[in-house]
Amino acid sequence: MSTFVLVHGAWHGRWAWEKVVPLLEEAGHKVEAPDLRGHGDDKTPVPEVSLQSYADRVSEVLDGQSEPVILVGHSMGGIVISEVAERHPEKVRLLVYLAAFLLPNGKTLLETAQTDDETLVLQNVEVDEDKGIVTIREDAAREVFYGDCSEEDVERAKERLQPQALAPFATPVGVGEENFGRVKRTYIECLQDRAIGPATQKRMYTELPCEKVISMETSHSPFLSVPEKLVSHLVSLAAVADQ
């Protein structure tokens, strides 16, 4: 069996994985799903939140594992797992990008988002540069993140969304072939995504090829809309990684 470390995206917290964690555990796997700095129950002040602090938090989780992990990153979590793999390639068996930012060295999340003609994020955010945060308009959250989710799940998620620190969005990813480049990676694309457009997802995994690409006919949040199907893909990936 495998150890999964699940890394949530912007505005979210570990709560995003609440349907996935028990299903993976029922399948016999160990699962860790930390809150990134400044998210969920972590009260790190916004000025201290950075891409480095995100990677530090996940690295702490990896330090506590007895074996290399399958590292899953959703959305913004993609740049976090890339940074962690660059630091600790020996601790990661497989990188899984779930509708996530898979960026080359020196590229920022913001630069990539600004070239995405399909995203609904940029026109539905409110930026407070003085506080260093960006928030999603509540009335747009369903369309942006949760298009195929139940009304109950949407309302529950909207209640838990938090302001997002701006700094990680504008920080260049630092990865290279020697470390990050030697870790196997898979991409799970979401074909009804309105947060990261499908064309942008395809462009990213084409520019940085993955060993496997899995397509899901879902919105940006399959961990809420179709958790069983998502877990079946993750379990299958673990089985292959074990061979």
Catalytic residues, which ones? 193, 220
- Give the separation between CA 196 and CA 188, rounded to whole angstroms: 12
Spell out the residues 6+ positions from residue 175 whose beta carbon is closer than 8 angstroms to its own: 82, 83, 85, 86, 103, 104, 105, 181
Dihedrals phi, psi of 44, to nearest 5 degrees: -55, 130
Can you read off the two tokens belonging to residue 105? 């060295």
Sheet holding 164-165, edge to edge: 125-128, 133-136, 164-165
